[in-house]
Structure 1
Amino acid sequence: MNGKIHVILLAAGNSIRFGNNKLLHKIDGKPLYQFLPDTLKEVQSCDGVHCIVSQYKEILEQMAERGYHCVKNDKPEDGIAHSIRLGIEYLEEIGVLMKEDAILFGVCDQPYVLAETIEGLLESYRESKKGLGCLCKDGRLGNPAVFGAAYANELKALTKDQGGKKVIHRHLEDLCRWEAASAFELEDIDCKEALNLVQNIRQWQKKDLYFRIPESLDTLWKNKRMSQKSTELSGYRKRIGMREFLQHTGLSEVTKATVALVGAGGKTTFAYRLAEALRAEGKAVLVSTTTHMRETKEHCFIWREEPEAEVQLKSLRKCIRTPEVWTVGRKAEGGKIKSLPEEVLEELRKWEMILILEADGAKERLVKMPAEHEPVIPKGTDLVIGLTSQMAIGQKVGTAHRPELVKAFLGKTEEELLTEDDLFLIMTSSKGLKKNVSGIFLPVLNRCPKDWCPKEKQNWAEQGIILCEEME
C-alpha cells in the first residue's frame, strides 16, 4: 500500500448509557474526546487528511483550532453509519481520497489505545498488501480500524448502527490483524462505572519501566517489530516497555501464575509496577509476601484470626475484582505485613489470577546474599525474578544486606567497593539470586541509568540478565 492514510474520527454519539455527553467528561482536566487526537499526533503513518464527525459544536470548534477538517452530523439518531458516510463523502468532496489511499477510523471514547499500537497496526497494514486492518486481542476485533479506498462504497452503504465491523466480517480473508498488548486498549467508555478504570490505567501508562532484553533469550513476542535487534548495545534487543516485558515473560498469555521476587534494590516497587501492568491488561492480580513487606496505605486486606477463612476468602475475591491492585497479608510490627497461613496461601494459588509474592527481605538495601533460610519460594512457583540495583556499583561491600555473606562470597572486605563483576556473580550464582529456584528464573539489574550498559555486555546478555531502566 503506497497511498496516504487519512483519518476519520467519530464523535457524534448520544451517550445514552452514560447519561450525558461523555465526550466532554474531563479526565485529569482533559475532555475524553481529546485523548485519541492527542495520541494520533505521535503516529507518523497517518499522513493524510484528518477529519472529525460530530454533532457537538464545542468539539467541532476545538478540533478546528487543532487543524482538523470538521464535519457536522445533524442526524446523530441515524446511527454510526451516518457518521461514517459523512466522513467518507467529505474526503471525496474535497478530492483527497485516491484509489491507492486508506482511511483509519477511530472512536473518541477510547482513551487507552497507545500511539505505538496504532503505528504497529498501520505499518503492518502497509506491508501486508491487504485492504483491511484492525486491532485485535485474543480473537476479539476492535478499533481503530483501517479500510482501503476500495471499500468506501461498501462503508457508505451501511445503515443505522451498522459499523465498519460489518464490512470486515464480510471480507476476513482481506484483513490484517494487529495484536494489542493490552485488552484495555480496545475498550471504550460506555458508562460512568467504566471511568473508575481510567485513572489507574492512564497512571500506569505514564509510569512505565523500560527494559533491555538479551537477544539470546527465547520470547513469546508475536509482533515482529518487537524482535528487532539492537545496533547500539550488542547482545541486547531494543528498548521496550513493561507491556512487552509481560509478553516476554509469558505473563500476558496466562490468567493464572505464581511469581516470586527475590534479591534487593526495589523489589516492592517492581512488584507493584508489574501488578499494575497486569491489571491494566485485564488480569486478576494479588500481591502478598512469604516474608515481610511494607503495608500499603490503601487496598490492603489484613488477614485476621477471625472470622473464619472461608468468610475472609469470599471478601478477598470481591477485592480483586475491583480496578485497584490489592495486597494481602497478616499484620506485623513496624508498619509491615507478614506471610499468610500456609493453607491460605495454597488456596490463593488455586485461584484464576496472577499472584505476585515478595519472597525475600533486604531492608531496602541495594544488593544482598541470601541467608540459609532465604529466599522463601513456594514449591511450584512459575516464575522467579531476581533483582539487584545497578546503584550498588561503587558502594562499599558493608552497605549490602547481610554483608558478612557478601564478603565471604566475593572474598572482599567491608571497605572494598562493589563492581559490576561482583553483581554479575551474585545474580548468576546458585548461592546468590538463583538459590532455591527450580522453575523459570529471570535476573534483572534494576534502576539502570538510561543507556548504561555493562562493560562485558555480551557475557551479561548470554547469562540472560535483563537491564531495567529508571522510570522517566
Structure 2
Amino acid sequence: MKTGIIILAAGESSRLGYPKQIARYKDKTLLQYAIDAANGSKADKKVLVLGAFKDEIKKTFPGASIPNIPNPNWKEGMSSTLIKGLEYLQKINPVDQVIIMLCDQPFVDAKLINKLIATQAKTGKGIIASGYSKTFGVPILFGKAYFEELMSLTGDEGAKKIAAAHEDDVEIVPFPKGKTDVDTEADLRDLNL
C-alpha cells in the first residue's frame, strides 16, 4: 500500500493576523513541525500545498525538504487545497491511501502518522482518524475508495464530512493532544507556556 501525505497550508490565518504557518513554537515554525512529521514517517509520497503568503512562507523552510505546490484558488476554501494536493499525488505514481494533515497541530509527529498507517493495515478500514475531545479529525487517512468523494468537496468543507458519512468504515487512533491547534494569538501563548 502506497501512502501519500497532503499538508494543507494555504489559508490566510485571518484570526491570527499573520500566517500561522510561520508562527513559532519552541524552536520551530508550526509548518516545520508538520514537514518533519511527514518526512519522518513511513509515507511514500508527500506534498505541501501553499496559497496565501506562499512566498513569505517558502523562505522559512528548505524548499528541497518537501515537494510543495501552490494553490492559486486557495480563496475557494480548504477543499480546493485538498483537491490540488490529491491531484498532485495521483499524477505520476498514484498512491493507495492519503493522509490529510494541517500545519497548526504542533503535537502531530511521525509516530502518530505511522500509527495511522499501521492501524489501517491491521483493521483494513477505509478511514483512520485521530480521536480527541470526544470527536475525531485530522490527521486522517482515507483509502482510495474515498478519493472521488474527496475530489468532490467544495468551499470550506473538510474531509471530516466524508468520514462522518461512513462511520462504519472509520477506525479511531487516540490522539488527546490533537485538540491543540493554533488559530489565535492566545492559542499560541497558551502553547508556549
Partner residue, 1:37: 35
Cα deviation, 1:419-451, whole Å, max 9, x if unaligned, reads xxxxxxxxxxxxxxxxxxxxxxxxxxxxxxxxx
1:171 to 166, 172, 177: 166
- Distance in 1, matches of 2:40 and 2:70, equals 26
State the match for 1:85 in structure 2.
83
Secondary structure of 1:109's aligned partner: coil
2:128: which partner in 1?
133
How big is each residue's C-alpha offset from its partner over 1:158-193, in whole Å with a ceiling of 9 and x where there is no partner? 00000100110111111111112x3x3332101010
Whether the 8 Å contact between 2:131 and 2:178 is mirrored in structure 1 is no
Offset from partner CA, 1:315-340 (integer Å, 9 cap, x none): xxxxxxxxxxxxxxxxxxxxxxxxxx
Equivalent residue for 1:96, pick from 84, 89, 93 = 93
Write out the 4+ residue segments of structure 1 that deviate beyond 3 Å after TM superposition.
58-63
**Which amino acid letter does the alignment assign opposite residue 35 of structure 1?**
Y
SS in structure 2 opposite 1:193?
helix
Partner Cα distance (1:195, 1:81) in 2: 25
Larger radius of gyration: 1
Supply the AA of the counterpart residue of 1:123: A
Deviation at 1:138, TM superposition (A): 5.1
1:118 aligns with 2:117: no
> Contact conserved, 2:36 with 2:109, CA < 8 A, in 1?
no
Q: Which residue of 2 aligns with 1:149?
A: 144
Tell me which residue corresponds to 1:52.
48
**1:13 maps to amino acid:** G
**Aligned partner letter, 1:198:** L
TM-score by length of 2: 0.90
Equivalent position to 1:187, from 173, 177, 180: 180
Separation in 2, partners of 1:138, 1:27? 22
For residues 118-166 of structure 1, what are the alpha-carbon distances to aligned partners after superposition, in whole Å with 9 as ceiling and x for unaligned?
3222211111111111100253112100011121111010000001001
Name the SS of the counterpart of 1:38 in structure 2.
helix
Q: Aligned to 1:41, what secondary structure does the other structure show? A: helix
Identical columns (%): 28
The number of residue pairs the alignment matches comes to: 190
The aligned amino acid for 1:116 is K
2:21 matches 1:28 = no
Matches of 2:152 and 2:58, distance apart in 1: 25
Paired residue for 2:15? 17
Q: Residue 18 of structure 1 aligns to which amino acid in structure 2? A: L
Per residue, is there more helix in 1 or in 2?
2
Structure 1: which 5+ residue stretches go unaligned? 201-472
Indicate the RMSD between aligned Cα atoms, in angstroms.
1.7
TM-score, reference length from structure 1? 0.39
